[in-house]
Amino acid sequence: MSNKLIEVKNLKKYFPVKKSSILGKSQYLKAVDDISFYIDEGETFGLVGESGCGKSTTGRCIIRLFDVTEGEILYRGEDIAKLKESELKPYRRKMQVIFQDPYASLNPTLTVEDLISEPLNVYSIGSKEEKKERVFELLEKVGLNKHHMDRYPHEFSGGQRQRIGIARALSINPEFILCDEPISALDVSIQAQVVNMLEDLQEEMGLTYLFIAHDLSMVRHISHRIGVMYLGKLIEIGISDEIYNHPAHPYTQALLASVLEPAPKRTNGKSIQVLEGDVPSPLNPPLGCKFVTRCKYATKRCYEIEPQLKEISSGHMVACHLF
């Protein structure tokens, strides 16, 4: 039986927006607006959607880099959504993050050895020799070697820097890693290498990943299941191949069509919608279905009533009135 490592229940993250006048109403940007999903232990859950749809905010709420506006984040069944910093300490060790831009996230004045051993210092793990040994071991795990120890981040290529970022995230043996677009900034030729390495490390270390990307082609290979976000909402969830071969939501279809040549056929024979127009402002989202301003199937009902996620086949959930 599968074992949920993380379960997100009705998560909301609203950012307050500056009022235009003292008398103006308080306004909130609903970056994440009532989403629920789970990640099994050892699983990779892919989160996709156009820039600004709330992927990073979701990830940052889960690892509690952000306070949560409302909802629950269960880590092995314990709700960590409202825990104070002092109470979060045991969870901080178990959850790590890999960012899109390793250069921005690695302190340029530290050597590779310092960078990778920093988390070990924070948690006072190991003697000086043990730490050095651990850094060697981690460098090898990510395809670098001990001759890289005394060098600085600027001496490495983008792909190598991401490897250093990964070694650093792994140093304290986490259980869960938020991978926030870790390959989006890398050359296409390097992307597959890093994805393959993350997969090997997952198997070897029993890791669980939340893997964020803005296009579906990047997450297909690594993800067991995929969630598609649009304007702060999760609009489709399913097993990776199912989302890829039978995308149900018009937005998922359009997102997929934008990265595929030739476009896949819809199972019900209708032509695929292409992605046109811009995402509406999250400060003023449509009332009903959030995708209504760009959807060619939209009806009056779509403008008035927000569709809820509904299971259309085993484990495949879609929020659209067509279903």
Ligand X SMILES: Nc1ncnc2c1ncn2[C@@H]1O[C@H](COP(=O)(O)OP(=O)(O)O)[C@@H](O)[C@H]1O
In the complex, the residues that contact ligand SF4 under the rule CB under 6 A are: 249-250, 289, 291-292, 295, 297-298, 302, 307, 320-322
Residues pairing with 29 in the sheet: 15
Q: Which stretch binds ligand X (CB under 6 A): 35-43, 50-58, 69-77, 147-155?
A: 50-58
Alpha-carbon distance 4 to 253, whole Å? 28
Interacting partner of 52 out of ligand X, Mg ion, ligand SF4, none (Cβ under 5 to 8 A depending on kind): ligand X
- Minimum distance from CB of 239 to ligand SF4 (Å)? 21
User: DSSP assignment, residue 7?
Assistant: E
- Minimum distance from CB of 35 to ligand X (Å)? 12
Helix H or strand E segment including 248: none
End-to-end, the C-alpha distance of the chain in Å comes to: 29
Q: Are 319 and 233 in contact (CB under 8 A)?
A: yes
Which of 31/194 has CB closer to Mg ion? 31
Among residues 46, 54, 174, 238, the one that binds ligand X under rule CB under 6 A: 54
Residues that contact ligand X, how many (by CB under 6 A) = 12
- Minimum distance from CB of 213 to ligand SF4 (Å)? 21
Q: Which stretch binds ligand X (CB under 6 A): 55-63, 80-88, 163-171, 237-245?
A: 55-63
Interacting partner of 298 out of Mg ion, ligand SF4, ligand X, none (Cβ under 5 to 8 A depending on kind): ligand SF4
53: contact with ligand X by CB under 6 A: yes
227: contact with ligand X by CB under 6 A: no
Interacting partner of 322 out of Mg ion, ligand SF4, ligand X, none (Cβ under 5 to 8 A depending on kind): ligand SF4
Buried b (16+ CB within 10 A) or exposed e, 312-323: beeebbbbbbee
Which residues does 131 contact at the CB level (< 8 Å), separation at least 6?
A: 117, 120, 121, 125
57: contact with ligand X by CB under 6 A: yes
C-alpha distances out from residue 129 to 122, 152, 173, 233, Å: 16, 21, 18, 48
Which of 37/291 has CB closer to ligand SF4? 291
Alpha-carbon distance 237 to 40, whole Å? 14
Among residues 11, 33, 55, 177, the one that binds ligand X under rule CB under 6 A: 55
Alpha-carbon distance 107 to 102, whole Å? 9
